[in-house]
Amino acid sequence: MKLWQGRFSAPMSADADLFNESLSFDKKLYRADITASLAHAEMLGKCNIISAEEAQTIQDGLNGILSDVESGALTIENAEDIHSFVEENLVKRIGQAGKKLHTARSRNDQVATDFRLYVRESCDKAISLIKALVETLVLRAKESAKYLLPGFTHLRKAQPVSCGQYLNAYSEMFLRDLDRFAACRRRLNVMPLGSAALAGTSYPIDREITRELLGFDEISENSLDAVSDRDFVADYLFAASLAMAHLSRLCEDTILYTSDEFGYWNIPDEYSTGSSIMPQKKNPDLPELVRGKTGRVYGHLTSILTVIKGLPLAYNKDFQEDKECFFDAETTLFSCVSIYTALMQKITFNVNRMFEEAGGGFSTATDIADYLAKKGMPFRDAHGVTGRLVQYCIKEKKTLFSLTLKEFRKESELFEEDILNAVTPRASAEARNSVGGSSLSAVRRGVNSIRRRLKKY
């Protein structure tokens, strides 16, 4: 029997019922639904809309359902959706009083409230998982601050950078993600309950009571908007999408850096996979999967934006489509962040190989140009002189840091003995002591700054 059966003379046909149902996925909302109903019942009692005894009976019944679901004694099944399931079970348990729970409420404000409660918790979980990832990255950054590796632009060696600085770059991205989830949580923490179906309610409810009980910061100020606002789902899915984008970039770097061709890092065996045919292979399936799953989360963001667009006010059943995309995105995000935290804890650095490669590709050429510019040569001319030195090295199969002072001076009289040190990869990285730069002390300051900002969460 449906909650709304009264108006109909025939029961719903089985195929229509199956198509219409949402219990198979919105059962995840059981705790949020019961929590919101407990608060609603308490408010109804306090406002004398139902009697104090009825409110108490309802609350006892709801708590019984909650503990039976959690113990496994009660299976969530045989209802149109989670809201119907809880209400039908309540009536089965406590009889008449249970039928009063839905006074001054509609499933429209109910589902909007439940889902906000659920997404709020999910923001907290996302924040704690991403925080753990940043804690790992910053720990690895601290221990690898002194190691150099090539820094790239256009995936061509550009300048030597510190491994710690490189890892700190990802911490910066994930700090922004933390901020986004915190902002999403703050924006969604507005309570729709009390908006009823769309127009508000004629009962003398006190929304402040339920707001307080449910930990919302504010109550919604327009009932039409409140029952049909799913901005918070889009907000969450955008935050999740961008966090996945950042993870995916880290995956891409991991895949490249652990290849034979680069050889900078190693993924330990416990986090690697093999090939069914090629016995020698050690494959980076985990980073590849995370990179692949990013597309799936983007897809969910597109889904919700498309569901919202073009809907007439107020509630429409289209909104039922807000849940599966959300649930899949949160599961995907959580599993990807967790596996990557584990992987980054275990990844090892091939320090010597990184160092050798950091000096390749004439990566300290900018230091030569800077050297001349600091001695008074206009930078553009210094760039030209250095370009000719690079050409000379290519022709003679030399590196910039193997040139003699005599060779330097053939291009400019400004060169003196100290150029020979200035042109080494270590000196190049150390020279960049600006905030956020590659010098050891700049990287250590970066580590401290990240740790300080992380404390906010």
Q: Which of 36, 44, 90, 111 binds ligand ARG (CB under 6 A)?
A: 111
For 402, phi then psi, to 5°, come to -105, 0
From the CB of 236, what's the least distance to ligand ARG, in Å?
Answer: 16
CA angle 118, 183, 453 (to 5 degrees): 115
Q: At 196, is the secondary structure helix, strand, or coil?
A: coil
- Taking alpha carbons only, the member of 193, 228, 184 closest to residue 33 is 193
Q: Is 22 one of the binding residues for ligand ARG (CB under 6 A)?
A: yes
Tell which one of 236, 319, 326, 415 touches ligand ARG (CB under 6 A).
319
The angle formed by the CA atoms of residues 386, 390 and 395, to the nearest 5 degrees, is 145
Q: Residue 438, interface with ligand ARG (CB under 6 A)?
A: no
Q: How many CA atoms lie within 13 A of 230 on its CB side?
A: 29
Give yes or no: 241 in active site. Answer: no
Stretch that binds ligand ARG, among 11-19, 68-76, 104-112, 126-134 (CB under 6 A): 104-112
Residues 37-96 interacting with ligand ARG (rule: CB under 6 A): 81, 83
Retrieve residue 454's tokens. Answer: 């992380």
Catalytic residue among 24, 67, 259, 275: 275
Catalytic residue among 154, 202, 276, 434: 154
CA distance 118 to 235: 14
Residue 143 has what DSSP assignment?
A: H
Give the SS3 label for residue 153. strand
Asked if 315 is part of the footprint of ligand ARG (rule: CB under 6 A), the reply reads: yes
Choose the binding region for ligand ARG from 174-182, 289-297, 313-321, 364-372 (rule: CB under 6 A).
Answer: 313-321
Q: Does 326 bind ligand ARG (CB under 6 A)?
A: no
- CA atoms of 46 and 33, how far apart (whole Å): 20
Q: Please state, as a whole number, how many other Cβ atoms lie within 10 Å of the Cβ of residue 233.
A: 27
List the one residue out of 452, 451, 443 whose CA is nearest residue 144: 443
Q: Cβ of residue 202: shortest distance to ligand ARG, in angstroms?
A: 19
Return d(Cα 357, Cα 148) in angstroms, integer. Answer: 9
**Dihedral sign, Cα of residue 396, residue 398, residue 404, residue 405:** positive
Q: Which stretch binds ligand ARG (CB under 6 A): 103-111, 139-147, 261-269, 448-456?
A: 103-111
Residue 25 or 349 with smaller CB distance to ligand ARG: 25
Residue closer to ligand ARG (CB basis): 306 or 352: 306
Number of residues that bind ligand ARG (CB under 6 A): 11
Q: Which is nearer to ligand ARG, 305 or 414 (CB)?
A: 305
Using the minimum distance from each CB to ligand ARG, give the nearer residue, 121 or 318: 318
Say whether 300 is catalytic: no
- 303 lies in the site for ligand ARG, by CB under 6 A: no
DSSP state of 411: H
Q: Which pair of structure tokens corresponds to residue 186?
A: 């703050």
Stretch that binds ligand ARG, among 10-18, 206-214, 215-223, 315-323 (CB under 6 A): 315-323
Residues with a catalytic annotation lie at: 154, 275
Binding residues vs ligand ARG (CB under 6 A): 22, 26, 81, 83, 107-108, 111, 315, 317, 319-320
